[in-house]
Amino acid sequence: MIKLINATKYYKTQGKNKYILKNTNLEIPSDKNIGILGRNGSGKSTLLRMLGGIDFTTSGDIVSDKTFSWVMGLSKGLQPAMTGRQNVKFVCRIYGKDEEQIREISNYVKEFSELGDYFDMPIKLYSNGMKSRLSFSLSLAFDFDYLIIDEILSVGDASFKKKSENALKNKMKKCNILIVSHSMDTLRNLCDVGIVLHEGVVTYYDHIEDAIQSYNRLNKAPSKKILCSDGAIFDNIKDAAKHYGVKPKSIQQAMTQNNGSNVFLKKVFWFEGTQKPEFQEWQNVVENETIIASDGIIFSSSKEAYYFYADLHKGIKLEPDHIEKVLLKDGKSDKLKINFKYLSEYK
Amino acid sequence: MKKRSSFAIFKSSIFALFLRDMYDSVGIKKIGYFWLFFDILFVVLIFVALRGYIRGIDIPGLDFIVFLTINLMAFYFFKSTVKLITNSLSTSKNLFDYKQVKPIDVIFAKFLFNFFIRILATFVLIFVGYYFEFDMQVNDFNLVLLSVVWLGIFSLGIGILSAVLATFFDFYKKMYGYMMLPLLFTSAVFYTVGSLPPKLREIILYNPIVHFMEMLHGSYFYVLDTYYVDYMYMTYWTIIPFFIGLFLYTKSEKNIIAS
């Protein structure tokens, strides 16, 4: 549990106090993955740092009995003149690990980050991607109650991205995350609850979707109509999804990840005022891995699908390999009442 | 993750920072060890070489090169400690991203690291001295040791105070370099206080470093004494800056981390 008691934080800018928190009383329950939303400069990162114990309130308190990681994503804490291994050892020593554990963690980081020989070379020779790979692997090697992630999540090339996403999801079984992100997809994927920061006012939402909606209202993004290739016009994604009988995520996926082409409906969606895109097949299909469900959603692996449905239907008991088993048979899941198919076989 | 006592965190953090300083200054090449000492010995070499040209400042009964060397080593120990600690807070800002690392850990680690490599450098010099058969006999070894350790604590105190001031006053940060400059010539490094005219002597004895220098070479050489050393004055200068520094530090620790 994280408790904010009368927490106030402000910066002085040109004689005026700019508030990030103003007399905030808030209680965030345990075991929730928390997404923090807010416009640029509203103090999201400062709030993260305060929760992580490396920044402090001007008055009031932030109390928690949990352990927090360092702020992930920025590779600021790495010393350029030292090798990757030395940097890893340094962090291990700060956290009071003994030699045996240090060796284990170094080996794990070397393997996971795929740095190879570069692991024993000074950090100043690293590219940005290598640096972030190192610091990402390093933060996975420790056990915290909360991982603090600032913006940057997926780093490196496509294969590493996938690997790190899976590793993070595995990690999230044991710990929770606190994340700042401008990517609503990431937040929807990872978070349970949301916090919206706006001009010193902190609002807590029990569901991330509510937080996102209130954030969108803050942004006053003019709601554009959505057009479909069969001529229909919708106010928002939800209406469109209802109309075609698929999950909203399906259409959202199409619009954000596949230039508007929905493979399941064989239709193209685009925003009012933009050009109509051509229909195309799903990008990056991996044979015997990418799955399409009968509610229109595409998953990059059966594991991802499992996480999604396990989260969605908390009442139904799913085994982790349920979807894999179903796929081996005929693809029909009686529990979920959904059919699964490999995208490569889907016509 | 299991909870650790704050002293255990302090210890592991200082240990990690110490090794980090070591790695950082040595680098991954073997030549790094050379630069580690060269940095310190260079000043001594320069002044000893100069001494070859400038004659007439000899003190009868002792080897002036040895006199110069120990004074310079002691003075630069003070100077580098204060400088390292003062700069450490701004150069180690990235480290405060790990919440276990507090600024005071950085300060202590820098101090220990500096102390450590300077002791090693002293051993190198002793070795060189024996090789060239200098007269290095020590009069009162215990007092010499005490004066070095005392000088270390004194510089740590001044360093902490200076570090806190430098984080909050840009003016101090700019001026501090200039304040250090005349110290080399007013700290009894090249001469003894006894050899000065009485009026100048009175003024120069207000400089606390003079007392440390006098204590050091006064107890090292048989022919010199510690007549002008005021131990109370040294104690004040050790305790007062140390406590003011620590007091200001505890008041402003959060600001230093967050700045």
> Of A55, A56, A93, which has the smallest distance from its Cβ to B15's Cβ?
A93
- How many Å lie between the alpha carbon of A95 and the closest alpha carbon of chain B? 7
CA dist list (Å): A247 to A206, A251, A262, A338, B131: 21, 7, 12, 12, 85
Contact B248, B164 (CB under 8 A): yes
Would you state the pLDDT for residue B184?
A: 86
Segments in chain B forming alpha helices (H): 6-26, 31-51, 64-91, 103-131, 141-168, 170-180, 198-204, 208-220, 231-258
CB-based contact B20 A81, cutoff 8 Å: no
**Residue B112 predicted with pLDDT over 90:** yes
- How many Å lie between the alpha carbon of B93 and the closest alpha carbon of chain A? 9
In the stretch 67-96 of chain A, residues with CB closer than 8 A to chain B read 67-68, 70-71, 74, 76-77, 79, 81-83, 86, 89-91, 93-96
Q: Quick one: tokens of A139?
A: 């933060």
In chain A, which residue's Cα lies nearest the Cα of B254? A56
- How many Å lie between the alpha carbon of A39 and the closest alpha carbon of chain B? 22
Residue B143 lies in a domain: yes
Report the distance separating Cα B12 and Cα B27, nearest Å.
22
In chain B, which residue's Cα lies nearest the Cα of A144? B1
Q: What is the ipTM of this complex?
A: 0.83
CB count in 10 Å sphere of residue A6: 13
Per DSSP, A181 falls in state -
CA dist list (Å): B222 to A205, A270, B57: 80, 94, 18
> Of A76, A81, A94, which has the smallest distance from its Cβ to B12's Cβ?
A94
- How many Å lie between the alpha carbon of B112 and the closest alpha carbon of chain A? 17
Averaged pLDDT for residues B195-217: 92
The answer, for A56 touching chain B at a CB cutoff of 8 Å, is yes
List beta partners, residue A71: A148
Report the distance separating Cα A222 and Cα A250, nearest Å.
22
Residue B4 lies in a domain: no
The answer, for A99 touching chain B at a CB cutoff of 8 Å, is no
| Radius of gyration, alpha carbons of chain B | 20
Would you state the pLDDT for residue A159?
A: 80
* Pairing outcome for strands A146-150 and A68-72: parallel
In chain B, which residue's Cα lies nearest the Cα of A89? B16
Which segment, A237-241, B45-49, B183-187, is predicted with the most confidence on average? Answer: B183-187
Report the distance separating Cα A18 and Cα A15, nearest Å.
9
List beta partners, residue A149: A72, A179
**Residue B1 predicted with pLDDT over 70:** no
pLDDT, tens digit (0-9, with 9 covering 90-100), for A217-239: 877 765 567 788 887 888 777 77
The parent domain of residue B224 ranges over 10-258
Report the distance separating Cα A332 and Cα A338, nearest Å.
6
How many pairs of residues across A and B have Cβ atoms under 8 Å apart?
69
CA dist list (Å): B20 to A102, A120, A282, B3, B26: 15, 15, 49, 24, 10
Which residues of chain B lie closer than 8 angstroms to A73, CB-CB?
A: none
CB-based contact A70 B12, cutoff 8 Å: no
Residue B27 lies in a domain: yes
CB-based contact A122 B28, cutoff 8 Å: yes
**Residue B235 predicted with pLDDT over 90:** yes
CB-based contact A77 B95, cutoff 8 Å: yes
Task: Please give the order of strands across the beta sheet that includes A16-28.
Answer: A16-28, A2-13, A59-64
Contact B241, B161 (CB under 8 A): yes
Residue B2 lies in a domain: no
Residue B1 lies in a domain: no
In chain B, which residue's Cα lies nearest the Cα of A46? B258
Which segment, A2-11, A104-113, A217-226, A236-245, is predicted with the most confidence on average? Answer: A104-113
**Residue B212 predicted with pLDDT over 90:** yes
Residue B181 lies in a domain: yes
Report the distance separating Cα B108 and Cα B160, nearest Å.
9
Classify residue A245 as exposed, middle or buried by CB count within 10 Å of its CB (0-12, 13-18, 19+).
Answer: exposed
- Give every CB contact of residue B174 below 8 A, 6+ residues apart in sequence: none
In chain A, which residue's Cα lies nearest the Cα of B96? A54
Would you state the pLDDT for residue A222?
A: 58
The answer, for B98 touching chain A at a CB cutoff of 8 Å, is yes
Q: For chain A, what are the domain ranges?
A: 226-271, 291-342
Residue position matching structure tokens 């007392």:
B211
Report the distance separating Cα A27 and Cα A293, nearest Å.
38
pLDDT, tens digit (0-9, with 9 covering 90-100), for A141-193: 888 888 888 876 656 677 888 888 888 888 888 888 888 888 787 788 888 88
Would you state the pLDDT for residue A347?
A: 65
**Residue B135 predicted with pLDDT over 90:** no
Would you state the pLDDT for residue B77?
A: 93
CA dist list (Å): B249 to B85, B95, B165, B166: 13, 17, 9, 12
Closest CA to B224 of B111, B71, B76, B113: B71
CB-based contact A70 B254, cutoff 8 Å: no
- How many Å lie between the alpha carbon of A110 and the closest alpha carbon of chain B? 18
The answer, for A146 touching chain B at a CB cutoff of 8 Å, is no
Q: How many domains does chain B have?
A: 1
Tell me how far the alpha carbon of residue A229 is from its chain's centroid.
Answer: 31
Would you state the pLDDT for residue A295?
A: 81
> Of B9, B20, B258, which has the smallest distance from its Cβ to A96's Cβ?
B9
How many residues in total does chain A contain?
347
Would you state the pLDDT for residue B242?
A: 95
Confidence band for B233, pLDDT divided at 50, 70 and 90: very high
pLDDT, tens digit (0-9, with 9 covering 90-100), for B12-41: 999 999 998 888 888 777 777 887 788 778
